[in-house]
Amino acid sequence: MKNHEISEVIKVGKAQVLVYELKVEAAMTTDVITINPQDTIEQVREILKEHKISGLPVVEGDQLAGIISIEDLIESLLEGKMKERVGEKMMRDVVTLHSDEPLVRAINEFGRYRYGRFPVIDRKSKKIIGILTKGDIIRCLLKRLQSNHYEDELRRYRAGHLFEDIVSDQSALVLKYNLEGVSFERAGEGSSRLKKNLLRLGIHPDVARRITIASYEAEMNMVIFCQGGELIATIGPQCVTVNAVDKGPGIPDVERAMQPGYSTAEDWVRELGFGAGMGLPNIKNCSDEMNIDTKVGHGTNVQFRILTKK
């Protein structure tokens, strides 16, 4: 139930994806202020005050030896032991993070222990190369969210003007998605990427949806029966034509394949909810024109056209 924990820590939509993608090194502070075991608690007080921080990694040679925090300082102050060596007072069992770990692990560790900071260690050299606080994580996420949003907006604006900006007697934009060897889990990515581009090009969402559904069905067919293929969308000012081309087994009886409910899919495919025998009929229903060009043993081209301006 790991995912439940994460969604409790950060409930900000895209941030959830980012914590999987971003590494600890992207968020950590690299300018680490450290102290030696031989230094005194009095010196810890000065450093914490000067840099407005609440804890310090203790370093001996170039290796992490422990950590000392403001709580330790308060204790020493109450006991009147400000001249005590850091090495005697510090906590030795330090929980650390590796710089190449995903941020989500760091978030889990902050949840598990109640520490304010984790030293970050380089996996190879074992040296301390950074320090990570909750504040570092929040700053990093906010920065990434902001820049992602800005890039999206910019791209949408540029693409929307494509057909206005390019003047010719006939213009068409060809988008090709290579689905060769695409695994079952990743199937659907081609049509999903196509949909985003159609929307960026200013195609009406209802029309884009029909193109996407038909493309998705074609893509699933290619992945289930043919180990992939190519999805080629030709986007013109009046219509979008999609060719789903594969070198698979071909369709022996097209008329039967077009009948709703007829399927040759294997059991494991059906268990995942595919193979209902509705793929080709769905493509037909979504499109204004559909053609199947197939040869047994050679491959199939499912072509469909959808008008974008009526």
Residue 110 · residue 19 · CB < 8 Å:
no
Rounded to a whole number of angstroms, the minimum distance from the CB of residue 273 to another protein is: 5
Residue 61 · residue 47 · CB < 8 Å:
no
Stretch that binds another protein, among 54-62, 137-145, 160-168, 179-187 (CB under 8 A): 179-187
Spatial distance between the Cα atoms of 188 and 218, rounded to a whole number of angstroms: 10
Pick 58 or 179: Cβ nearer another protein = 179
Question: Which of 67, 195, 198, 302 contacts another protein by CB under 8 A?
Answer: 195
Pick 15 or 132: Cβ nearer another protein = 15
Instruction: Provide the angle, in degrees to the nearest 10, between the axes of the packed helices 134-160 and 14-21.
Output: 110
The verdict on 272 binding another protein (CB under 8 A) reads: yes
Spatial distance between the Cα atoms of 117 and 51, rounded to a whole number of angstroms: 15
Question: Which of 279, 292, 294, 304 contacts another protein by CB under 8 A?
Answer: 279
Neighbours of 37 (CB within 10 A): 16
The verdict on 278 binding another protein (CB under 8 A) reads: yes
Question: Which of 110, 118, 274, 304 contacts another protein by CB under 8 A?
Answer: 274
Neighbours of 67 (CB within 10 A): 24
Spatial distance between the Cα atoms of 193 and 175, rounded to a whole number of angstroms: 10
The verdict on 3 binding another protein (CB under 8 A) reads: yes
How is residue 198 written in tokens? 């159609």
Pick 15 or 24: Cβ nearer another protein = 15
The verdict on 285 binding another protein (CB under 8 A) reads: yes
Stretch that binds another protein, among 51-59, 124-132, 236-244, 281-289 (CB under 8 A): 281-289
Spatial distance between the Cα atoms of 159 and 116, rounded to a whole number of angstroms: 45
Rounded to a whole number of angstroms, the minimum distance from the CB of residue 187 to another protein is: 6
Rounded to a whole number of angstroms, the minimum distance from the CB of residue 4 to another protein is: 7
Rounded to a whole number of angstroms, the minimum distance from the CB of residue 149 to another protein is: 13
Question: Which of 9, 16, 26, 156 contacts another protein by CB under 8 A?
Answer: 16
Where do contacts with another protein occur on this chain (CB under 8 A)?
1, 3-4, 7, 11-14, 16-17, 20, 184-189, 191-192, 195, 205, 209, 212-213, 216-217, 220, 272-274, 276-279, 281-282, 285
